[in-house]
Amino acid sequence: MTARCITLLTDFGTADGYVGEVKGVLATLAPGAVIVDISHDVRPQDIDGARLAVARYWRRFPPGTVHLVVVDPGVGSGRAAIAVASGDRLLVGPDNGVLSPALFAVDAQVVALPVPPNAAPTFHGRDVFAPVAAQLANGVPLHELGDAWHSAIRRRTPEPTKRQDGAVQGEVITIDRFGNAVTNLYARADGWLEVASTMLPVVRTYAEVETGTRVGVVGSTGLLEVAVRNGNASHDLHLSRGAMVVWHPSRRSS
């Protein structure tokens, strides 16, 4: 049998040693599991950024994988701590929406986790979530870890809206490291994208345009992205999360 993976996504950074503490707990309690770093560079307390990352990777890992996600501005408050079984994967984290991608599956089961009395009120990653992730990796069934929890917070990317003229209005949902602005528009490799008062052609790949050209392009999750070939669209067009984008079936002055 292959060892189970426990993946880690946090906003801790690594330099302070907090991630080291979490890994020490995992290595101690689940010595047979494989620890896989996803990222510790999520912007501090950026729940939506973490949620979008989780959406990308959670189902790419083998069945049985445990995904530990700790972006937790509400630590120590009344927010629940949860564990989720969904689509043959297991997830652990705060009940603030970061685990949403797994909560929308029809088979999703959720339990609320008890907080041990000696847990540090500022560090549930180490004292609540990591021990539970270790138990799940060791094969402890979900229902033994807490009571069923039916009110888990589900955050979702806003839906784009169809307009009467055939255009579809959406928004930028995240900016990636390359400066590409990912939108909530379902990708189709035609038409035009209106953004920041300019009209950009939608192409299938960067290869269709010259270096420095601004385009709409089909992204790797099936959403349209605003990109500059070998450049940074976010800087060039002053785009940030929430910026309006409109897809048009044909070119028109904006």
Which parts of 134-193 interact with a second copy (CB under 8 A)?
A: 174, 176-179
For a second copy, the closer CB: 41 or 236: 41
Residue 107 touching a second copy (CB under 8 A): no
Residue 6 touching a second copy (CB under 8 A): no
Among 114, 121, 166, 249, binds a second copy (CB under 8 A): 121
Among 120, 140, 148, 244, binds a second copy (CB under 8 A): 120
CB of 246 to a second copy, least distance (A): 22
- Short-list 50, 122, 45, 49, CA closest to 91: 50
Q: Are 249 and 166 in contact (CB under 8 A)?
A: yes
CB of 181 to a second copy, least distance (A): 12
| Total of chain residues touching a second copy, rule CB under 8 A | 74
Strand partners, 148: 111
Tokens of 113: 């986790």
Among 47, 48, 49, 224, binds a second copy (CB under 8 A): 49
Among 108, 115, 196, 218, binds a second copy (CB under 8 A): 218
CB of 112 to a second copy, least distance (A): 17
Residue 74 touching a second copy (CB under 8 A): yes
Dist. CA 172–CA 186, nearest whole Å = 12
CB of 157 to a second copy, least distance (A): 14
Residue 75 touching a second copy (CB under 8 A): yes
Among 198, 220, 240, 254, binds a second copy (CB under 8 A): 220
Among 207, 210, 238, 242, binds a second copy (CB under 8 A): 207
CB of 150 to a second copy, least distance (A): 23
